[in-house]
Amino acid sequence: MEAKENEKLFLSLPQDVLFKEILSRVPAKSIGQLSCVSKSWRSSLLHNPQLIRAQLHRQRKRKQKLILLSSSPLDHPYFITLTFNNDNNSATLNKSNTFPVLTSLFSSADKYWIKIVGSCDGLVLVVFEPKRWLFDDNKEENHHKITLRGLFDDEGGPDIGNDTGSAGTNNTRATNRMFVINVTTWEVVELPNNPLELDPYDNLDGFTLHGFGYDCLNDDYKVVTLTSYPSSGGFCSSSCDVDDSDILVDVFSLKTSTWKRKRSCFCDLYVPCIGNGVFLNSTLHWLALRRYEGYGPSVVIVAFNLTSEKFAQVPYPDPNAVGENSLDLNKLFSVGGCLGLVVSCHVCQIDVWIMEKYGVEESWLPFRIIGNGLSSCIPVCVVGPVEVILQKDGKKFIVYNLADETWKYLVIDGSSDGDLEEFQCGSVTAFLESLVSPTSLIW
């Protein structure tokens, strides 16, 4: 009886005090534990927009965590999270039980490429992409063709809603399957299949890049896909209506649960298969190459604004200062609220540029990460005023101190070499704890 009275008293507090001043200061994971007290607490806490926004605002000032995908041959793939400790030099590893809805897909990992695309506000996009060379030669018996007819209008392509696909369901085609998960609350939602996607049988030599981010003006989380369909050499069948740019751009809105095709900006650009979209300032970014020489730097940064759903170019560092490098060596990343670019890696150093003021070419500043054995490293997150976490070869994590230019391996569960080789971790992304519910975002 006393417990119920305390619960009633607690929930009777003014909402501004309860949610904005008290609970918003509590870590999201702890709020999730509080929600288990009773059904009324669960509905009041986990699905309260005021609390979700206030808690997310405070959480952005705290340390991020890392989520990795283990692909050890000794076990089915599963998620691993790294939580950084207060000293910024050590972390705790947690092997996360997989989401039940993903269990069957993880057990069929030999048929899929599994990628952690990126994160936004505590939500993580995970993509299962069929391995194309496993398709049956007798394809006519195993798939349905979807043919796109007609030209784009000025606004792009058609909107396709839930009449052609719904969350949690899939048609019989071998298509990409995409899931948005909240690692803190363990909620998951499967996105509807993209009915605009051409059949993989017609695109054995193509590839798809993904991006995930938040449209702050429309309060909408969106997924963007860039799909390369080689239009020469007979790779596409006659039913494939692919324009000369070779890149098709599709956008999924979680708010409206619709896919739409947008105009491509890639008539004179080529996007290699080297990475997914880097999200920053309501915009997704990719590196691209110019198809034709003599029209500026050979490497450019293309940016897709999630609000306007239009492409633009973000200024690239001065090519005379950067030098001409193989695009395979260049990596875009977002760290500490700034866009960054790795332009070269050597045995003893990594050359990095940081754009301090977004969109301002003159604000690109170079710095060099120096240390024997630091080749093949890329920044993944900031954990302190001067500490940056680098990932090396997908196996080790390094803490680099920007102030004194020293580095050490991240201590993980007492192990001082920062080694995760036994897990054979593939993709990794930084995320923050939040209460944002993926199941409440999609209709």
- Which residue shows structure tokens 């995320």? 431
- Token output for 166: 């719904």
Question: What is the predicted pLDDT for the residue at 118?
Answer: 93
Q: Which two tokens stand for residue 426?
A: 């593939």
- pLDDT score of 441: 79
CB-count exposure of residue 366 (10 Å: 0-12, 13-18, 19+): middle
In this prediction, residue 151 carries a pLDDT of 25
| Dihedral pair phi/psi, residue 42, rounded to 5° | -60, -45
pLDDT, residue 327, reads 57
Pairing state of beta strands 78-84 and 65-70? Answer: antiparallel
Length of the chain in residues, anyone?
443
- How confident is the prediction for the chain on average, in pLDDT? 75
Q: Which residues contact 241 (CB under 8 A, 6 or more apart)?
A: 147, 148, 149
What is the rounded distance in angstroms from the CA atom of residue 340 to the CA atom of residue 365? 9
Contact 183, 124 (CB under 8 A): yes
User: How far apart (Å, rounded) are the C-alpha atoms in residues 303 and 315?
Assistant: 10
C-alpha Rg value of the chain to the nearest Å: 23
Domains along the chain?
1-62 (no CATH), 63-440 (2.120.10.30)
Question: Alpha-carbon distance 166 to 164, whole Å?
Answer: 7
What kind and span of H or E run contains 42? helix 39-45
Please report the pLDDT score of residue 153 as a whole number. Answer: 32
Write the pLDDT tens digit of every residue in 82-137.
Answer: 899 988 888 988 877 667 777 777 777 677 788 899 999 999 999 988 776 555 44
Question: What is the distance between the alpha carbons of residues 422 and 435, in angstroms, rounded to a whole number?
Answer: 32
pLDDT tens-digit readout, 250-273: 999 999 999 999 877 666 777 765
Cross-strand pairs, 392: 377, 396
For the chain, residues with pLDDT lower than 70 are 1-22, 32-46, 71-75, 97-98, 109, 132-174, 198-206, 229-246, 265-267, 272-274, 291-297, 323-329, 345-347, 414-419, 421-424, 442-443
pTM greater than 0.95 = no
Maximum pairwise Cα distance, the chain: 79
pLDDT value of residue 164: 39
Residue showing tokens 């609000």:
307
Q: How far apart are CA 81 and CA 438, in angstroms?
A: 19
